[in-house]
Structure 1
Amino acid sequence: MTDAPIHLAIVGKNEIIREGLKRILIEEDFLVDDTVSRPMELDHGIDQGTVIIVDAIDIDEGLATCEEVRMRYPEARIVIMADEYSVQDVSRAFMTGAVDGYIVKQISCRPLAGALRLTALGEKVLPSQIAESLASAQPCSISKYWSVGAAGNNLSTREVDILRCLVDGEPNKVISRRLQIADATVKVHIKAILRKLRVRNRTQAAIWAVSRGLASDGAEMPMPVPALAPSGILADMKVARSN
């Protein structure tokens, strides 16, 4: 439990699910300030520390709602709750920049509470079930997918090297020392990478690379499995750190 209570809001079209989730979270010592069917009904007093849960009927509808919530409350932490998952859907969710966490509804109460607390602290949270999918992924097919994706986006060899550093979560100064290039050069390459991949920031660029099988050590491999948080939630894919 954190020292200060965590404020939550719930967005979902099913009132029964909203009220049930509210009761569960209150029992886990969260403060549920609002439960609404549409983002426009949320209280305007939502601040940076608030975690907004979006109950998704399907992934497309859920992500659209998350994007609307992000536009209205850019400083809030947003978690999408979906009936199911796929590596592609999880990757797409984070690539939009609209979510901070992806939770599958099969999760039990205590891990759910742990996931929401991690999200409130600024961590990226993924479904624990994804570990099995990553472990069974085929290296050859993913490696081919990465090679085609990199070539299709016109990434240079140096940009690929820097992208691997971003997967490791390294700041610019560390990248500069590792590759023996100037800090200013690193910044130029990162800007080029973001432009070519059509992503907003280094975290999204790293997620793009990881989802396509780019290893951080120079070898191509299946999408790496993040460390398990104490609550059993997959958190912080080593890509959320920046300088």
Structure 2
Amino acid sequence: MHPAPGEPVRLLIVERQPVVTPEVRARLGREPGFALAGRVGSAVEATRLIRDQPLDMVLVESTLPDPGAVEMARFFRVRYPKTVVVFVTRAFSQTELFEAARVGAAAYLRASTDADLFAATLRRAAAGQFPIDEEVVRFPAVAARILAQFREESVAEAAPAPAPEAAPPKAEEAELGPLFVKLSPREIEILDLVARGNSNKIIGRKLSISDQTVKNHVSAILRKLEVNDRTEAVVYALRNGWIRIETPAS
């Protein structure tokens, strides 16, 4: 995302373990073109935060625990395509570089990168450039993998599609479906029934399980989603597209 002229780049750091060094933080703090929006410890927290405030750029720890940096970058590419994603790594890996490039990251930076160079690379990324391309071409094996995937996708797109039996889901929905789903299929099923106003007793009858088992599942759902009650869990699931409530025809 390109901020309005004169506006700083709103930057979020996503790291479970510190990967952006104090020197880089200090450098960005002195940089008039950047404004640190905060630091969170997980991809899920990042997706929650961006709903409340716009972000121009996200720095993500390359080894972020599940859902990891790759899934987070894919989520942002689909839902918030104007937000620039930059991977930061403690130890360079060609596999990480490939994955970062594949999901559209603008840059892949080592944590040990000089603070001035780090800031300069972020400025380029914020301006719409892809410094990651320069890294890719330095490693023929990575470039070859990316080209091979590009060819496969091009062939797939060029192939005539069979006549669908039913209307396929929208591309965005298909891609977003599995992102950040921390619940089991059974928990999704129960949450869907909760969203439709069913009590634990009715849910138990419909699924042929005991009331206590339903309560246990609901407790697990609240814990996994880090929410306080059933309503928050339903809202969270609806926002992420895990469940849908059909509106009855008038």
TM-score, scaled relative to structure 2: 0.46
Higher relative contact order (CA 8 A, sep 6+): 1
TM-score, scaled relative to structure 1: 0.47
